[in-house]
Amino acid sequence: MSVIQAIILAIIEGITEFLPVSSTGHMALTSAFMGNNKEAFTKLYEIVIQFGAILSVVVLYWKKFFDFRKISFYIKLVVAIIPALVFGALFKNHIETVLEKPLVISIVLMLGGVLLLFVDRWFNKPVIMEESQVTNRHAFVIGLYQVLAIIFPGLSRSAATIIGGMQQKMSRSLAAEFSFYLAVPTMLAATVKSLYDVYEESPEVLNTNNLNILILGSVVAFIVAILAIRFFISFLQKYGFRLFGWYRIIIGILLLVLIMLGYLQA
């Protein structure tokens, strides 16, 4: 992977990580276009820079993450991440296989887009406006929704967890913020697991050059993600999910066209 390719992927990750459009799907397809999607380092890179982007949440919501007097907040995150830890381990091979199939990603993008067209209409009577009102049961249910994004790459982790929060009668903005919070331990676990697997299976991948690229990509994704979070919360409060739904449908159709024309392998 070249430095330019690394920066492109990091920018895409930073923009899409918190939007309900599937950052994993966007990066997988971009890697396929650049021709490096089969490389072991590319798979590692795409996971590690997601954690770089997620760290922007810790910076923007530092008062929430470092208020150690409120242990209940950390307990909720632990409860919410349990389903992802279990299913992530079970479906690891499935995920890696699916991520190499643009056809599957394009279909999931479109189906998820159709879902987003109706979300605001289905869940339009929120009663939970503050994080303190979120119970451990609510957190666990949102964690189950996150599993859907693990099983169906291209669905979008943020879309799944935000919809899960809204289904639990959270406001759109609170559901988005809780999705951001949950992303931190989720991507930390995914990053540690990926680094460990690479170290065990292909330690030569963790050479100095690749480590420098990982650091660069993480920094770029972090900076871009800070801007994306601020945009997303403001946009979501004003317009809801409908435009994101149409975007997913259009991107999914374009990918199908590219597959049919032979630019991408199904």
pLDDT at 136: 94
pLDDT for the residue 164: 92
Q: How many domains would you assign to the chain?
A: 1
Cβ–Cβ < 8 Å for 254, 109? no
Amino acid at site 208: T
The better pLDDT of the pair 83, 150 is held by 83
Per residue in 155-177, pLDDT tens?
888 889 999 999 999 998 899 88
Q: In this predicted structure, what is the pLDDT of residue 82?
A: 93
β-bridge partners, 128:
170
Residue 95 has pLDDT above 80, yes or no: no
User: What are the pLDDT digits (tens) for 201-249?
Assistant: 777 878 888 899 999 999 999 999 998 888 888 888 788 888 989 999 9
Domain-embedded: residue 100: yes
> 3-state class of 127 per DSSP?
coil
- Buried b / exposed e over 160-199, threshold 16 CB at 10 Å, is bbbbbbbbbbbbbbbbbbbbbbbbbbbbebbbeebbeebe
Distance CA 159, CA 59 (A): 22
106-115 pLDDT, tens digit per residue, is 888 999 999 9
Q: Measure the CA angle with vertex 185, ends 212 and 46; round to 5°.
A: 35
pLDDT for 120 equals 83
The number of angstroms, rounded, from the C-alpha of 259 to the middle of its chain's C-alpha atoms is 24
Residue found under tokens 């317009």: 239
Residue with tokens 């330019």: 4
Q: Residues of 111-126 as b/e, b for ≥16 C-beta within 10 angstroms?
A: ebbebbbebbeebeeb
Report yes or no on 265 lying in a domain: no
Average pLDDT, the chain: 85
Average pLDDT (58-82) is 90
**Which 8-state DSSP code applies to residue 263?**
S
Kindly give, in sequence order, each residue whose CB lies less than 8 Å from that of residue 53, ignoring residues fewer than 6 positions away. 13, 14, 17, 18, 23, 218, 221, 222, 224, 225
Structural domain boundaries enclosing 181: 3-260
DSSP code, position 155: S
Residue 70 lies in a domain: yes
Whether 266 maps to a domain, the answer reads no
Kindly state the average pLDDT of the residues 119-140: 90
Amino acid found at 44: L
